[in-house]
Amino acid sequence: MLASVANQNRVRDALPGALLSIEGDQLDTGEIPNYRKLENGTWEYHFSPLVSAYVADALAIFDPLSRQFDPFLVEQAGGRWRVEVSHSAARIRRRIRRFLAWQQSADGTWRFLGRGSSLPPDRDTTACCALVLLDRIGVNSEAAAKRLEPALRRLRESEGLSSRSHSRDAAPEWDEVLDWIASINVLRFAILACGDAEPLAQELARRYAEPGLAPVVSVLYVLGTARRQCGLPGFEPARSSVVDALIQSQTPEGTFGGALATAMGLTALLDFGYAGPEIESAAGWLQSYMDSSSAGLTEEFCSPLCGSPAFARAVAIGALSRASL
């Protein structure tokens, strides 16, 4: 009991500071800076609206204007911080929405390197950005979805369910990871906005049952997000295999790799309803990392083209807040 209270206190103390740090990273345009990893191991700024969409999605649980808002998480902040936490999350997400609306192309899609890029529309970027614009209480989601759905339908029908390296100038070895993440996010859009999810759900369930899918934490994180937000029809029979894959990839120290990978793994375990000791070990390691001076390190999450300290902090504080309830 005392340990649980202590963990809640640590999360309560860390939450406002983490949000303030994310807001400090946010540019005047509303963009959350994205970085790419160079061959020498250093990171450089790399413009892309995708990471901003992922940060907005991760912070939705703290935003009272989001359909994903969880008031119990904000209550943990206590006292005067309760209002500040919800206001900070709402402020960050409001500025991200404006940035993403500015980056939308005339055909209704988004490009990984921005609307001025010569690359073709990117399926994952389009699905994630569209979902952020739809996720606001008071927005007529049905009318908004009708404006966005033709672009998503065209993307799905033109090349099936894939999102390949050609749409973001990535190395081909990342194709399978990009393919899975994009497919799941398109399914999430279809369920939450378009109402035509069944064919996509069946296709993803069939593909997941095929042998050879590596338990990539970023893929299982996106899969868990879809399950939490919209039920993920067709995947319940695979729940135990997903949880097993996560647990088997966890180290004895409780990590799933670096800080972001651990935050993603912990989030996925929570999203799939797991309540074993692995939750506590992952949360303990992650909290210690957040308390350390190294919490600002960049870490890739779906390819070397995507890295963001702000995204790592957003996922981490969400995971820790949920784990401490």
In degrees rounded to 5, what are phi and psi of residue 44? -135, 150
In degrees rounded to 5, what are phi and psi of residue 43? -115, 145
Q: Find the CATH number of the domain harbouring 307.
A: 1.50.10.20
Give the structural domain span for 126.
Answer: 2-323
**Residue-level pLDDT, tens digit, the chain, 325 residues:** 334 555 566 777 778 888 999 999 999 999 999 999 998 989 999 999 999 999 999 999 999 999 999 998 888 766 667 788 899 999 999 999 999 999 999 888 899 999 988 888 898 999 999 999 989 886 666 666 677 777 766 666 554 444 566 788 777 778 888 888 988 888 888 888 766 666 667 777 777 766 555 568 999 999 999 989 988 767 777 788 889 989 999 999 999 999 999 999 999 999 999 999 999 999 999 998 888 765 566 788 888 899 999 999 999 999 999 998 7
Using DSSP's 3-state secondary structure scheme, residue 45 falls into strand
Residue 60 DSSP symbol: G
Residue 247 CB-density burial (10 A; 0-12 exposed, 13-18 middle, 19+ buried): middle
pLDDT at 303: 84
pLDDT at 1: 37
| Domains identified in the chain, total number | 1
Inter-CA distances, 23 with 74, 125, 260, Å: 17, 22, 18
